[in-house]
Amino acid sequence: MSRNPLSSLSAEQLRERFIGIAMEQGDALLGGATRTFNRLYGQMREIELELKSRPSDQRSVLLTLLDHPNLAVRWKAALATAAISPQAAREALESVARSGEMPIAGHAGMNLHNLVTGFAKPT
């Protein structure tokens, strides 16, 4: 059985990778590159799952990103931490949606709508 390469990285290293991917996703949305965004979505999901699998669910290392200067990072961190810190994540999503910086604000607004209505159930 092959070993997951992410399992050899520290939580801090995974966090840094998360930031890089989020920023690339933001650029992809800005450029209308949905294929790039979707490819990166898979990579980010692997990082989230790796952190979640670690003792005490180490997605908590992403909480500091809710104040990151980059809008895309804040948005993706909010989605990734919605299950472990719902209130902080929701406030971060509200902030991103209110920024009006499209298209990310539109995406965040839809995520927020789905959270508020109960359609989205973060795990």
Partner 1 sequence: MDFVTDLRTKAARERAWLIGDQNWMRQWLLERASAAHGSKLETKSQFGATCLAIAAAHAPDLVRKAISLHYLTEPRVPRGSGEESGRWTRLAGDVPGLGHNQGPPLDEKPKIPSRRPDKSEHRTESVKRALRFLRLRGAGALLSLIQASPWLAEYQADILAAHVAPDTLENLQADGSKPAAGYERHHIVEQTPAEKDGFSRAQIDSPENLVRIPRIIHRDISAWYSTGNPDYGGNSPRDYLRGKTWEERRSVGLQALRLFGVLKP
Cα separation, 65 vs 81, whole angstroms: 10
Q: How far is the CB of 119 from partner 1 (least distance, A)?
A: 7
Q: Write out the residues near partner 1 by the rule CB under 8 A.
A: 27, 29-34, 37-38, 41-42, 45, 79, 97, 100-103, 106-107, 109-111, 113-115, 119-120, 122
Nearer to partner 1, 20 or 109 (CB): 109
Nearer to partner 1, 8 or 87 (CB): 87
Contact 26, 104 (CB under 8 A): yes
Asked if residue 22 lies in contact with residue 70, where contact means CB atoms within 8 angstroms, the answer is: yes
Helix (H) or strand (E) segment spanning residue 59: none
- For residue 1, the surrounding DSSP H or E stretch is none
To partner 1, the closest distance from the beta carbon of 72 in angstroms equals 12
By C-beta, is 3 or 35 nearer to partner 1? Answer: 35
* Closest separation in Å from C-beta 110 to partner 1: 5
